[in-house]
Amino acid sequence: MVLPNVSVAMKKKIKKPSLVLTLSAAGLLIGGGSAAYWLLTQGQLFSKDLPVGATIIPQDALFAVSLTTDPKQWQQLRQYGTKETQAEIDKNLVKLRDRFLTNNGYDFQKDIQPWVGNEVTIAILAPQATQPPPKPVSTNPEPNSSQQSMVMVLPVKNPEQAQSLLAQPKSLKQGKWIDRTYQGFPIKQTDGQTGGNLCATVLDGRYLVIADDPKATERAIDAYKNKTSLATTGGFADNFPKIASYQPFAQFYVNVPTAARIAASAPNRQLPAQVLAQLQNNQGLAGTIQLEPQGIRLKGVSWLTPNSQRVLAVENKAGRMQSMVPAETLMMLSGGNLQRFWADYALTSQGNPLSPITPEQLRSGVKSLINMDLERDLLRWMKGEFSLSVIPNTPKDSSTADFRAGLLFMVKASDRTLAETSLKQLDDVMKTQYQFRIQPASVAGKPVTNWVAPYGTLTATHGWLDGDVAFFIFGAPIADKIVPKPTNTLASTIPFQQTVPTEPNPTNGQFFLDVEQAAKNFPLPNIIPNQQTWLGATRSIGVTTAVSDNRSSRYDIFFALKKVEHS
């Protein structure tokens, strides 16, 4: 991976190195995680919308990221966040620079910038495979070790300068340069006696390919000549253009089945055979990152394999719930069909030890707690849009100050008669099994049912909105914030409108989190490394999703970020 070796004068201007992120830093930008491996189909024609190097990176690459070489965009990146997040990025940038450039005597501005194109691509290749093992879950070869190699592709806009750099490489502090040829392409490489290899070749005067392993260089050449690159991977060329944007800061791709096999072979992280079999239906996850004045936008797409037996239901019917919750809502997650959402989750999480909660645990938990069947008694009538929201409590007196916030669940009932039968059954369980008082009440003239704990605290409330939307409130008594429908809704607020993407539209789900306000009042679960540092740089997060067709889904994510305060 490249990185500028910033001169003293440049340091005075921008203070820190400014070009290419490490894989970990790119992963943090890509999305918090994104917790992320998902879906692919069949590609045919190459497109200018594909990342540079897509015709060179081998198909079995675990991960690939293309990053801009535009200094203005890297300076813009340095405007986001806090001093702490900038320190994290700088630490990784220095590691990257030293690995590929400084340790070999090169300076990005002086030696690379004059001839390189508008972006560079870095890829992590899967370990070299051996013969296929006799496992039914995949026909792909398994890695024979955990050693992964890195390949970088730099497009050449000045062939003479690039060839000159390769013809007369910098002198090494230790070891020497070796010349060899593979498939007709001359290769320069270090002798490896100092603990590592650096290999470089120019393909047809158009691309400089640098790798940290001789075999990786050969694999890239084979992919280029034999047309077995990412560009010919099923679904890659079809889906990447869906998220194309003008002069993006970065583009990335995750190979789901290969990454799943690597995860399965990791110590203490074994994935069951049924999970691996399910992941074979998912081929790729790709994204484009765009820098905007108020933050970072990520446009993502995931897709299934061409031969996947699983298909997606094109049902984008969300978009109502954000207009039913109040403006002060801290978090809202919505979806288009709760029954289908559960079915998809159960299918992909069955037996998966990495799932936050397994379907089996949730089914048995519901059965043991309330003696009801999750699918038959509850989800059977929950085929409409749903949402889960956190709304802060503003207690009027000490009697309503037991909880700092209320958890609001809403779902559009596909069958109100079935829903009312289930709710009556649930009331009876809470009364007979847990000794709650079931109290009919009214809020703004609308009937509701309260659950009052044996020690006298109002614990939950349920009722109906707009005739077909059932709601449940747990914790703080916030029913008066949604009944009647609030005048100032979450959808009408500036933070929501500026954070939650308007595309894709129609949508099958949205997510909004007011990070600043939530962090002030509630501890957030740890999901990513150094989470507090990154959250400290974030104002809010918005997500909009949709099913594009029966084999692909779209995701737009926006991170509204703070600006660095330079001293």
Each residue's pLDDT tens digit, 342-390: 998 888 777 666 667 888 889 999 999 999 999 999 999 999 999 999 9
Q: How remote is the C-alpha of 67 from its chain's centroid?
A: 17
Query: Identity (one letter) of the amino acid at 180?
Result: R
Residue 167: which residues within 8 A CB-CB, separation 6 or more?
Answer: none
Q: Give, in order, the Cα–Cα distances in Å from 204 to each of 55, 121, 216, 502.
A: 13, 17, 18, 43
Polymer length in residues for the chain: 567
Alpha-carbon gap, residue 192 to 174, rounded angstroms: 10
What is the predicted pLDDT for the residue at 270?
Answer: 56
Please tell me whether the peptide bond between 506 and the residue prior to it is cis, using omega within 30 degrees of 0. yes
What is the predicted pLDDT for the residue at 263?
Answer: 66
pLDDT mean across residues, the chain? 82
- Answer yes or no: is pLDDT of 21 > 70: no
Alpha-carbon gap, residue 545 to 511, rounded angstroms: 9
Alpha-carbon gap, residue 16 to 39, rounded angstroms: 38
Segments in 227-294 forming alpha helices (H): 236-239, 256-265, 273-279
Residue 536: which residues within 8 A CB-CB, separation 6 or more?
Answer: 82, 84, 85, 519, 562
Q: Are strands 61-68 and 295-304 parallel, antiparallel or unpaired?
A: unpaired
Residue of 100, 81, 103 lying closest to 16 (CA atoms): 81
Residue 291 dihedral angles phi and psi, to the nearest 5°: -90, 130
Task: Give me the sign of the Cα torsion angle 505, 506, 507, 512.
Answer: positive
Strand partners, 386: 335, 411
Write the DSSP assignment of 297-324 as a string of letters.
EEEEEEEE-TT-S--------B-SGGGS
Residue 211 dihedral angles phi and psi, to the nearest 5°: -140, 160
Do residues 308 and 550 touch, judged by C-beta distance below 8 A?
no
Residue pointed to by tokens 């690597």: 262
Tokens of 44: 């045919």
- Answer yes or no: is pLDDT of 188 > 70: yes
pLDDT tens for 240-264 read: 999 999 899 999 999 888 877 776 6
139 falls in which pLDDT band (50, 70, 90)? very low
Name the residue with higher pLDDT: 422 or 138.
Answer: 422
Strand partners, 409: 388, 472
27 falls in which pLDDT band (50, 70, 90)? very low
Q: Does residue 87 sit in helix, strand or coil?
A: helix
Can you list the positions of beta strands (E) in 15-112? 61-68
Name the residue with higher pLDDT: 197 or 446.
Answer: 446
122: Cα within 13 Å, side-chain hemisphere? 21
Q: Does residue 518 sit in helix, strand or coil?
A: helix
Tokens of 448: 């509701």
What is the predicted pLDDT for the residue at 75?
Answer: 87
Alpha-carbon gap, residue 49 to 55, rounded angstroms: 12
DSSP character at residue 172: P
What is the predicted pLDDT for the residue at 529?
Answer: 72
Do residues 553 and 563 touch, judged by C-beta distance below 8 A?
no
pLDDT tens for 97-109 read: 666 666 667 777 8
pTM for the whole structure = 0.83
